[in-house]
């Protein structure tokens, strides 16, 4: 008993799984599947979406690289020249020198310092001797006058590393990750549109081919009726008016065949443009128009590309909001640098406040090393931070509103396309019965015409009804396939992975 119950449970589970697989699997011919793959790989909009995604990935790497140490190496060579000509105030600090000289000339100085008694006379003699040689003792003035010039060469290397960004880098990186999801969803949307377009044109080609087949069969039947009418005319069983009506019907058929041929040429060009294959290769293509079944078991629109894109957009805006809120947190950075400076072939020539002429061959400073950590904390920024946070909050609300609006519209669309699909299935069944009845009516009319019960006008009218019934059935199948495609698109399942 337990074994039987277990078997039933497993059977039920497998049945549910098969229903789910069938609901997502789209069976197409190998030729159509190849055209779908070619069109997706060739489409310019799909390629554009992929490029946008790659650009965002590069931006994300650039944001994350903020934590990678940055090393800068700089150097400079300068030749500098500057002249000085200005007036300064009182110079203090040298008053004691003048008082000392005055004290040395007083009578008390030899008595107090007998060992230095001759120093005053020696200083006086020195001044007199310098005066005879045209020399004077340097004295300070209240002016600055002179010039400076020389060469400078310097090198410096600096390494910086962001230790903590206040959460801005991580949040912006996460926002860009969500942006990549948006672009992936938009890429899937473009792929779905391309798939739908190539299937539509392929189905149109199948519709034209099978419609021409119906017209060719009508042409064959009409030729037989024309041969019979000509024979009946010779035997007096038909009139020239009857043969004229057959000729008119034949001209109508030939005109429709020519119209279908011209449409096929345009379809060849369009399929060539979509897939990249030569248009000539589609001339041997003979697709068959069959109904495309859709298992109406999946009403979930959560896989719809537009909804996925908007949901990822909401998350991206939330991360941007967190990034703006972290604007007030401190940023911490580590810094290390080494510097070397050199002054060479320089000259400082001053005529005031004291005559000086100093030549510098070389002065080297360094290497100088610095290592440390710094931080920046914007404690109050009413004009920037608060406004940006408020704007980011509104952007989140706006994105959420757009997502909910899209969800409602997509759900309504899913209900609409499902209803249209069921209507198209019923229409195919109705047109199939209609063409069966038209075939039977044509067989009966042909027998009645051969027995002379009806005339050629009634036979041609029945022939036209049967022809129209066949064409309307093919058009109904085409419409049903389009309705099924819209159902797959409505649930986000018109993707490459679902084609078998």
The reported pLDDT for the residue numbered 22 is 45
Instruction: Of 485, 425, 416, 422, give the one whose Cα is nearest residue 26.
Output: 485
Q: For the ranges 3-7, 38-42, 110-114, which has the lowest average pLDDT? A: 3-7
Could you list the beta-strand ranges (E) of 323-401: 331-352, 356-376
pLDDT at 10 (0 to 100): 37
Compute the residue count for the chain. Answer: 500
Q: b or e along 172-183 (b: 16 or more beta carbons within 10 Å of the residue's beta carbon)?
A: bbbbbbbbbbbb
CB 465 within 8 A of CB 438: yes
pLDDT at 42 over 80: yes
Q: Is the pLDDT of residue 226 over 50?
A: yes
Cα separation of 259 and 212, whole Å?
Answer: 10
Establish whether the linkage from the previous residue to 4 is cis, with ω within 30° of 0.
no
Query: What confidence tens digit (pLDDT) does each residue in 113-143 have?
Result: 565 556 656 666 656 666 666 655 555 566 6
Q: How many CA atoms lie within 13 A of 119 on its CB side?
A: 14
Structure confidence at residue 457 (pLDDT): 80
Question: Of 14-18, 25-29, 71-75, where does mean pLDDT reach its minimum?
Answer: 14-18
User: What confidence score (pLDDT) does residue 381 get?
Assistant: 62
Backbone angles phi, psi at 301, to 5 degrees: -105, 10
Q: Which helix (H) or strand (E) holds 79?
A: strand 70-87
Cα 393 to Cα 166: distance, rounded to the nearest angstrom: 19
Phi–psi pair at 351, nearest 5 degrees: -105, -15
Average pLDDT over residues 145-156: 86
Residue 101, pLDDT score:
59
Instruction: Give yes or no for residue 496 having a pLDDT over 60.
Output: yes
Average pLDDT of span 202-214:
92
Measure the CA–CA gap between 352 and 358, rounded to whole angstroms. Answer: 14
258 vs 236, higher pLDDT: 258
pLDDT of amino acid 9: 37
Average pLDDT, the chain: 81
CA angle, 372 as apex, 367 and 374 as ends, to 5°?
135
Is the CB of residue 149 less than 8 Å from the CB of residue 81? yes
Which domains are delineated in the chain? 28-68+167-325+382-498 (1.20.1600.10), 69-91+140-164+331-376 (no CATH), 92-134 (no CATH)
Within 13 Å, how many C-alpha atoms sit on residue 343's CB side?
12
> Are the C-beta atoms of 442 and 466 separated by less than 8 Å?
yes
For 173-184, write each residue's pLDDT tens digit.
888 999 999 999
Beta bridge partners of 339: 156, 368
- Please report, rounded to a whole number, the percentage of residues in the chain having pLDDT higher than 90: 35
Bridge partner residues of 156 (DSSP): 74, 339
> Could you tell me which residue, 95 or 397, shows the higher pLDDT?
397
Residue of 385 and 200 predicted with greater confidence: 200
Per-residue pLDDT tens for 310-330?
Answer: 999 999 998 888 888 877 777
């Amino acid at each position: 008993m337990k074994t039987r119950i277990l078997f039933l449970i497993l059977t039920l589970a497998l049945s549910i799984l098969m229903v789910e697989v069938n609901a997502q699997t789209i069976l197409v011919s190998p030729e159509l599947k190849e055209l779908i793959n070619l069109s997706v790989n060739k489409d310019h909009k799909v390629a554009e979406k992929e490029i946008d995604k790659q650009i965002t990935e590069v931006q994300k790497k650039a944001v994350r690289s903020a934590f990678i140490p940055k090393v800068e190496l700089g150097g400079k060579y300068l030749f500098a020249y500057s002249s000085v000509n200005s007036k300064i105030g009182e110079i203090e600090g040298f008053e004691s020198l003048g008082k000392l000289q005055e004290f040395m000339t007083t009578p008390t100085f030899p008595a107090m310092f007998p060992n230095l008694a001759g120093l005053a006379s020696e200083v006086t003699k020195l001044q007199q001797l310098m005066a005879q040689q045209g020399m004077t003792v340097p004295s300070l003035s209240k002016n600055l006058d002179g010039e400076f010039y020389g060469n400078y060469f310097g090198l410096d290397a600096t390494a910086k590393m962001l230790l903590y960004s206040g959460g801005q880098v991580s949040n912006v990186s996460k926002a860009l990750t969500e942006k990549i999801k948006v672009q992936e969803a938009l890429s899937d949307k473009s792929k779905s549109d391309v798939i739908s377009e190539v299937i539509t044109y392929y189905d149109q080609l199948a519709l034209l081919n099978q419609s021409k087949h119906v017209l060719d069969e009508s042409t064959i039947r009409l030729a037989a009726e024309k041969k019979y009418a000509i024979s009946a005319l010779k035997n007096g069983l038909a009139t020239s008016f009857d043969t004229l009506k057959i000729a008119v019907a034949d001209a109508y058929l030939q005109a429709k065949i020519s119209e279908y041929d011209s449409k096929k040429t345009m379809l060849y060009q369009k399929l060539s443009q979509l897939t990249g294959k030569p248009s000539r290769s589609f001339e041997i293509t003979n697709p068959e128009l069959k109904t495309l079944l859709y298992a109406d078991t999946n009403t979930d629109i959560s896989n719809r590309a537009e909804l996925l894109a908007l949901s990822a957009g909401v998350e991206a805006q939330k991360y941007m909001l967190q990034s703006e809120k972290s604007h007030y947190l401190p940023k911490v950075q580590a810094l290390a640098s080494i510097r070397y400076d050199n002054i060479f072939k320089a000259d400082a020539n001053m005529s005031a406040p004291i005559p000086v002429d100093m030549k510098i061959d070389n002065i080297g400073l360094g290497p100088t090393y610095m290592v440390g950590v710094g931080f920046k904390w914007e404690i109050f920024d009413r004009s920037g931070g608060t406004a940006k946070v408020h704007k980011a909050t509104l952007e989140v609300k706006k994105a959420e509103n757009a997502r909910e609006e899209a969800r409602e519209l997509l759900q309504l669309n899913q209900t609409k396309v499902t209803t249209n699909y069921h209507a198209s299935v019923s229409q195919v069944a109705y047109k199939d019965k209609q063409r069966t009845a038209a075939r039977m009516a044509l067989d009966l009319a042909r027998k009645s015409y051969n027995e002379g019960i009806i005339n050629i006008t009634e036979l041609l009218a029945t022939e036209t009804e049967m022809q129209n019934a066949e064409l309307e059935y093919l058009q109904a199948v085409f419409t049903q396939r389009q309705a099924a495609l819209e159902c797959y698109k409505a649930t986000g399942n018109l993707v490459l992975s679902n084609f078998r």
